[in-house]
Amino acid sequence: MKMLDTFYINGQWVEPCPGGTFADLVDPSTETQTGKLAMGTTEDADRAVAAARAAFPAWSESSREERIALLERVIESYRARLDDIADAVRSEIGAPITLCRTLQAPIGLAQLEATVKTLRDFEFETDHGNSYVRREAIGVAALITPWNWPLNQIAAKVAPALAAGCTIVLKPSEIAPLDALIFAEIMHEAGAPPGVFNMLFGDGRVVGARLASHPDIDMVSITGSTRAGVEVAISAAPTVKRVAQELGGKSALLILDDADLQSAVTSGVAQCMVNSGQTCIAPTRMLVPRDRYEEAVSIAAAVANAVRVGDPSDPATKMGPISNRAQYDKVQRMIGIGIEEGARLVAGGPGRPSGLERGFYARPTVFADVHNDMTIAREEIFGPVLTIIPYDGEEEAIAIANRSEYGLAGYIASSDPQRARRVAARLRVGSVRINGAMLDVNLPFGGYKSSGNGRECGVEGLAEFLECKSVTG
């Protein structure tokens, strides 16, 4: 039984302030309790903010070389803990161990390395005749991260904040605290100056709300649901602090009429189901030419039915459980709504896969005969559920893709690169992947509309943590 009962504040592991509670840690593959997690209070948040505020003057004046040196030490320590991180993510959110070893853990390392690359060449000052523009650290940054790709989001926020000269208070998800604990140990081992990096556990209603409203926090960066992002923005508004949000998505895959249908559908289903569908940019709406619709439906059903669901510790498992009871219940409810709305169930459906009696396991599910006004086509399900929508002509495909409150990502399958880029230009989303291209952590990432504000990764991600000062004369 694990007991996570300390926070990392001002370079030390400290006990929580009196009055806090504990939350249960649950293994989603077995539904058994594995430990207890101390939940922070507003007083704990205040302590962390005070430490970060005290450390800000010195760290904000540190040199580029000092920041690179710290990040490189973090990279070295992180690389040494890759196996520990992978095992932590497997146990806390149920991601398959193979996925954890090849992506969940390494992507955090990739984010750190990409930030160092960006920092080496970043222009903090630019001349304009007798004037110049100076880019300075915005101040103390509160970073609120989710449970689905925990190390990616921690590293994608912590690394550029440090590179910009900000000091940090990190609040990771209470569902995925084990990997965050390791990350804090890595920061300590790397020699982060006291107060530069601070971490405490807690829920959004208490710790998250306090950080968002705190007058000594200069910026909040949150990744989470659109609902959570809105609540943070409302709490932050009275202190007029910057809020960067990477929120929900309902991304469309446009399979154009010149695409290799077998390849495009197979890839689309795989991308939808990875990480049990718990990915904000998952292509959960597949748009297919009407004259090839039934063929696409048959391919998608076969691919979904072949996904191996099971014990996340088995290297052969392709899909583990949903990460927690509340999310599992939501996925089941949404599958039921799809059936009630008249969508045709061609793979999966309610309940657990055959042979799995315990654990938050969902069935890889595919719905056909879906139109864009159905709940399952509008709302983010955050589970292994794909909707397939027919269209007549390229113009209608683009219109359907854009008819969403979200705008995080888009996907295009086409044998004509120029056509694909032309269609990409018309999608109201923050990023587009063509023909199964992988995520590039050197490029900016974020969304339009209800998918958020601001960008992570690359030059733009570093700039989010900077203020701009003009000096004339």
pLDDT in tens, 126-173: 999 999 999 999 999 999 999 999 999 999 999 999 999 999 999 999
pLDDT of residue 179 exceeding 90, the answer is yes
Instruction: Give the domain extent around 128.
Output: 2-247+451-471
Residues 161 and 238 in one domain: yes
Report the pLDDT value the prediction gives residue 1, as an integer from 0 to 100.
Answer: 84
Residue 216 lies in a domain: yes
Residues 76 and 222 in one domain: yes
Mean pLDDT for the stretch of residues 311-338:
98
Residue 345 lies in a domain: yes
The answer to whether 452 and 380 have CB atoms below 8 angstroms apart is: no
Residues 238 and 256 in one domain: no
The answer to whether 39 and 201 have CB atoms below 8 angstroms apart is: yes
Residue where the block lists tokens 């910026």: 219
Mean pLDDT for the stretch of residues 311-324:
98
The answer to whether 284 and 379 have CB atoms below 8 angstroms apart is: no
Query: Cβ contacts of residue 127 below 8 Å, gap of 6+?
Result: none
Residue 445 lies in a domain: no
Q: Are strands 409-413 and 431-434 parallel, antiparallel or unpaired?
A: parallel
Query: Cβ contacts of residue 306 below 8 Å, gap of 6+?
Result: none
Residues 219 and 141 in one domain: yes
Residues 211 and 315 in one domain: no
Q: What is the pLDDT of residues 2-43, one digit of tens each?
A: 999 999 999 999 999 999 999 999 999 999 999 999 999 999
**CA gap 383, 340 in Å, rounded:** 18
Residue 421 lies in a domain: yes
Residue 446 lies in a domain: no
Query: Cβ contacts of residue 437 below 8 Å, gap of 6+?
Result: none
Q: For the chain, how far is it from start to end, CA to CA, in angstroms?
A: 64
CATH code for position 335: 3.40.309.10
pLDDT of residue 121 exceeding 90, the answer is yes
Residues 102 and 203 in one domain: yes
Report the pLDDT value the prediction gives residue 38, as an integer from 0 to 100.
Answer: 98
Residues 146 and 103 in one domain: yes
Question: Residue-wise over 188-199: b if at least 16 C-beta within 10 A, else e?
Answer: bebebeebbbbb
Active site residues: 246, 280
Average pLDDT, the chain: 97
CATH code for position 220: 3.40.605.10
pLDDT of residue 473 exceeding 90, the answer is no
**CA gap 461, 118 in Å, rounded:** 10
User: H helices then E strands: how many in the chain?
Assistant: 16, 23
Residues 376 and 236 in one domain: no
Give me the number of domains the chain comprises: 2
Residues 69 and 90 in one domain: yes
Mean pLDDT for the stretch of residues 251-260:
98
**CA gap 29, 163 in Å, rounded:** 38
pLDDT of residue 232 exceeding 90, the answer is yes
Q: What is the pLDDT of residues 295-305, one digit of tens each?
A: 999 999 999 99
The answer to whether 197 and 187 have CB atoms below 8 angstroms apart is: yes
In percent, how much of the chain has pLDDT > 90? 100
Q: What is the pLDDT of residues 378-425, one digit of tens each?
A: 999 999 999 999 999 999 999 999 999 999 999 999 999 999 999 999
Residues 388 and 434 in one domain: yes
Mean pLDDT for the stretch of residues 102-124:
98
Residues 173 and 261 in one domain: no
Give me Rg for the CA atoms of the chain: 22
Residues 322 and 237 in one domain: no
The helix (run of H) or strand (run of E) holding residue 244 is strand 242-246
Q: Which of 248, 270, 269 is nearest to 99 (CA)?
A: 270
Residue 143 lies in a domain: yes
